[in-house]
C-alpha cells in the first residue's frame, strides 16, 4: 500500500513542476513580445536641414544640421560594398546626377537646405532618413 501514495506524490510533483515550467515559459514569451512591441514604438526623430555630402571610394557621408545642436554626419557604404549593406533607409535622390558633372557626385542642389527627418530606433541607431518637406 505504501507504493500507491508514493506514486501519487511523485505524479503530483511532476505535474506541479510542469505547471511551474509552463508558467515561466509563458511569462518569458510575453516579455519578449512586449519588448519587440516597445522597440517598434520607441524611436526618436530629429528634423534637420540637408547641408552637404562627401563621396569616397567605399562610403558616402551625408551632413545634416538640426535647428539646435551639432552637425550630424551619416556614413553609408556605397553600392557594391555588399559585405557592408547599409541598415539605413535613405532617399535615392540625395546625390546630384553624376552624368551632369565631372568627378564624384555631390549633394543634390535641389535638396540642399531642405528639411529631413532622421529616425532612430530604441537603441539610438539611425534607421531611416526621409523628407520632411
Grid coordinates standing for 30?
Answer: 510575453
Q: What are the CA-CA distances from residue 96 to residues 73, 75, 90, 91, 93 (Å)?
A: 18, 17, 14, 12, 7
Question: What was the pLDDT predicted at 78?
Answer: 83
Question: What was the pLDDT predicted at 21?
Answer: 47
Grid coordinates standing for 100?
Answer: 551632369
- Please state the domain extents for the chain: 1-42, 44-131
What CA–CA distance (Å, rounded) separates 54 from 131? 19
Q: Average pLDDT for residues 99-111, to the nearest whole number?
A: 84
Residue-wise pLDDT for 34-71, tens only, equals: 445 545 567 899 999 999 999 998 899 999 999 999 99
Residue 87 confidence (pLDDT) above 70: yes
Residue 104 confidence (pLDDT) above 90: no
- pTM for the model stands at 0.65
Amino acid at each position: 500500500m505504501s507504493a500507491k501514495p508514493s506514486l501519487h506524490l511523485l505524479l503530483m510533483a511532476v505535474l506541479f513542476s510542469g505547471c511551474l515550467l509552463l508558467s515561466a515559459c509563458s511569462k518569458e514569451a510575453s516579455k519578449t513580445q512586449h519588448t519587440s512591441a516597445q522597440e517598434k514604438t520607441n524611436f526618436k526623430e530629429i528634423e534637420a536641414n540637408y547641408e552637404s555630402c562627401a563621396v569616397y571610394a567605399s562610403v558616402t557621408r551625408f551632413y545634416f544640421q538640426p535647428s539646435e545642436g551639432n552637425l550630424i554626419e551619416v556614413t553609408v557604404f556605397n553600392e557594391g560594398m555588399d559585405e557592408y549593406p547599409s541598415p539605413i533607409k535613405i532617399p535615392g535622390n540625395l546625390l546630384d546626377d553624376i552624368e551632369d558633372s565631372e568627378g564624384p557626385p555631390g549633394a543634390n542642389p535641389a535638396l540642399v537646405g531642405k528639411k529631413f527627418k532622421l529616425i532612430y530606433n530604441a537603441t539610438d541607431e539611425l534607421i531611416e532618413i526621409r523628407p520632411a518637406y
